[in-house]
Amino acid sequence: MQVNVTETIVERSNGETEKLGAYSGQVLLIVNVASLCGNTPQYAGLQEIHEKYKPRGFTVLAFPCNDFGSQEPGGLNEIKEFCSTNFGVDFEIFNKVHAQGQTTEPYTTLNKTDPAGDVSWNFEKFLIGRDGNVIARFGPSVQPSNEDLISAIEMALDFD
């Protein structure tokens, strides 16, 4: 099923809402994140690819989620401070969401991506093309440096 996120409304960290269409023309990697997860060190790799590909129109969008083992219990300011201090994160971190069960956006839309279903754990990744269509879904164990993920990002950036 082709899933487009352009009309998906999300809540920024300042409480304002916006459509993901505001990022049209950019390649996005949307990731549900958590500070106390075994996958938390992936923040460093996410920051690396964010920096490397940002000049070409790429950005990482992080959505904190406490749905998996209560591994993101903190408030948004605490989360942002943790990410900045420990991993040098400067990509956008949105308000906390739900990625499974009674989901909230962007996951109500993203979970329709093949294979459809709820996010399985923290650090699941969705690659979005410049046109707002979901290109690929990567499981939590896929590291930001993974060849398949990097290849998909580069192909999306080269596609006009």
pTM as predicted: 0.96
What domains can you pick out in the chain, each with its CATH number? 9-158 (3.40.30.10)
Phi, psi of 32 (to 5 degrees): -85, 130
Coil vs helix vs strand at 18: strand
pLDDT tens-place string over residues 34-90: 999 999 999 999 999 999 999 999 999 999 999 999 999 999 999 999 999 999 999
Strands 125-128 and 17-19: unpaired
Please report where in the chains the tokens 């129109």 appear, as a residue: 57
Q: Closest Cα partner for 128 from 147, 109, 103?
A: 109
Residue 114 has pLDDT above 90, yes or no: no
pLDDT in the model for residue 16: 94
Cβ(74)–Cβ(35) below 8 Å: yes
Active site residues: 37
pLDDT in the model for residue 1: 64
Rounded CA gap, 16 and 4, in Å?
21
